């Protein structure tokens, strides 16, 4: 038979049971809270460790000095140029390296050091194929080498703003009946082009009926017009201006082939401090405090004043 307890004992037992339940529930809550806290602390430790790794990885880049700092410590700037593309870079009759790009680089060095001494600049003659490797590997501090800004190049090297406009034009004899691009599109007309995809494409687009004379150098193209081997030649605009300056028996058609392009100084991508200095100097040359020196240089090689960088100002 089940033992019967007095009512007072039942109340006491019930209270003790309820107390035990409350104690267990409190302990479980405490355990869950501790587990939650441990989870948060573990997560925070993980975040701190990740942040430390990021900072450790970034510290070399943060501490790495700009090319500008190296140039200033060295006391001279090393510049990559061509010696095979007149009037931008070539060796003159005295065996001296000269040209529009070469002399412009000297003006940049003068601005960096506030000193026009020849000791402030060193030139490295380089091929066009070695332009990007040489700036990216630190062989040269920057390059100035008849280099056009193109979309496929901007992820490989950095560019300043343009220091000269470029584009493709047609050169003909001064007394030629050819007045516009449409006059070239005839079967009895011959046009000299270089062995480049761009010039071949221009020929097909603008004068598909004309005969093409394919040559391997700019000098040969120009000579083909002078000797009547070709009626016209495709040339980069600045090069054509240079040839026309010293050859009054030729002229340049007013219409250009395609859109204008820009030639610029190139440097290793990502060095903002060095880029900012070079870009600022170029800006001052083409349209600011250093413009008189730039105008004199431009007139020397191209026989005319350059357009002003500020389009609303008349060239002067």
Residues 154 and 265 in one domain: yes
> In the chain, how many domains are there?
2
Higher pLDDT, 8 or 188: 188
Residues 221 and 265 in one domain: no
Q: Give the pLDDT confidence score for residue 51 in this predicted structure.
A: 54
> What is the Cα Rg of the chain in Å?
36
Q: What is the DSSP letter of 6?
A: -
Residues 171 and 94 in one domain: no
Q: Give the pLDDT confidence score for residue 160 in this predicted structure.
A: 98
Provide the CATH number for the domain around residue 110: 3.40.190.10
Contacts of 66 (CB under 8 A, 6+ apart): 271, 272, 273, 274
Residues 114 and 174 in one domain: no
The answer to whether 261 touches 166, Cβ cutoff 8 Å, is yes
Q: 309 by DSSP, 3-state: which?
A: coil
Q: Does 145 map to a domain?
A: yes
Residues 207 and 281 in one domain: no
How high is the mean pLDDT of the chain? Answer: 85
Residues 181 and 218 in one domain: yes
Residues 153 and 284 in one domain: yes
H or E stretch covering 314: none
The upper half-sphere exposure of residue 160, i.e. CA atoms within 13 Å in the direction of its Cβ, equals 27
Q: Give the pLDDT confidence score for residue 309 in this predicted structure.
A: 77
pLDDT-wise least confident of 17-31, 69-83, 205-219, 262-276:
17-31
Band (pLDDT 50/70/90 cuts) for residue 61 is very low
250 φψ region: left (φ > 0), alpha (ψ -120 to 50), beta (else): beta
Which residue is listed with tokens 């019967």? 4
Domain with 226, as residue range(s), is: 166-259
Report the alpha-carbon distance of residue 316 to residue 313 in Å, rounded: 8
Residues 195 and 129 in one domain: no
Residues 159 and 268 in one domain: yes
Residues 161 and 74 in one domain: yes
Q: Does 77 map to a domain?
A: yes
Residues 117 and 83 in one domain: yes
- φ/ψ of 88, rounded to 5, equals -80, -40
Q: Does 88 map to a domain?
A: yes
Report the alpha-carbon distance of residue 202 to residue 251 in Å, rounded: 20
pLDDT at 232 over 70: yes
Residues 161 and 71 in one domain: yes
Report the alpha-carbon distance of residue 52 to residue 67 in Å, rounded: 28
pLDDT at 18 over 90: no
Q: Give the pLDDT confidence score for residue 23 in this predicted structure.
A: 44
The answer to whether 235 touches 244, Cβ cutoff 8 Å, is no
Q: Does 199 map to a domain?
A: yes
The answer to whether 130 touches 243, Cβ cutoff 8 Å, is no
- φ/ψ of 225, rounded to 5, equals -75, -45
């Amino acid at each position: 038979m089940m033992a019967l307890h007095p009512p007072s004992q039942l109340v006491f037992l019930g209270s003790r049971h309820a107390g035990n339940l409350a104690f267990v529930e409190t302990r479980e809550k405490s355990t869950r809270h501790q587990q939650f806290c441990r989870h948060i602390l573990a997560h925070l430790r993980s975040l701190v460790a990740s942040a430390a790794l990021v900072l450790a990885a970034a510290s070399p880049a943060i501490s790495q000095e700009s090319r500008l700092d190296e140039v200033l410590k060295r006391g001279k700037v090393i510049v990559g140029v061509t010696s095979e593309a007149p009037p931008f870079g070539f060796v003159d009759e005295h065996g001296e390296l000269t040209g529009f790009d070469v002399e412009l680089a000297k003006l940049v060095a003068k601005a960096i050091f506030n000193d026009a001494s020849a000791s402030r600049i060193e030139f490295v003659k380089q091929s066009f194929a070695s332009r990007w490797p040489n700036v990216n590997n630190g062989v040269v501090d920057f390059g100035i080498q008849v280099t056009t800004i193109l979309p496929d190049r901007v992820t490989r090297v950095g560019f300043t703003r343009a220091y000269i406009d470029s584009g493709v034009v047609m050169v003909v004899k001064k007394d030629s009946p050819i007045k516009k691009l449409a006059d070239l599109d005839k079967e009895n007309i011959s046009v000299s082009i270089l062995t480049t995809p761009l010039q071949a494409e221009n020929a097909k687009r603008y004068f598909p009926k004309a005969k093409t004379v394919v040559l391997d150098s700019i000098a040969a193209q120009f000579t083909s017009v002078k000797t009547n081997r070709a009626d016209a030649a495709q040339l980069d605009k600045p090069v054509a201006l240079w040839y026309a300056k010293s050859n009054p028996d030729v002229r340049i058609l007013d219409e250009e082939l395609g859109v204008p392009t820009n030639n610029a100084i190139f440097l290793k991508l990502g060095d903002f401090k060095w880029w900012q200095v070079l870009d600022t100097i170029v800006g001052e040359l083409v349209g600011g405090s250093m413009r008189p020196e730039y105008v004199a240089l431009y007139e020397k090689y191209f026989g005319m004043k350059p357009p002003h960088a500020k389009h609303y100002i008349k060239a002067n």
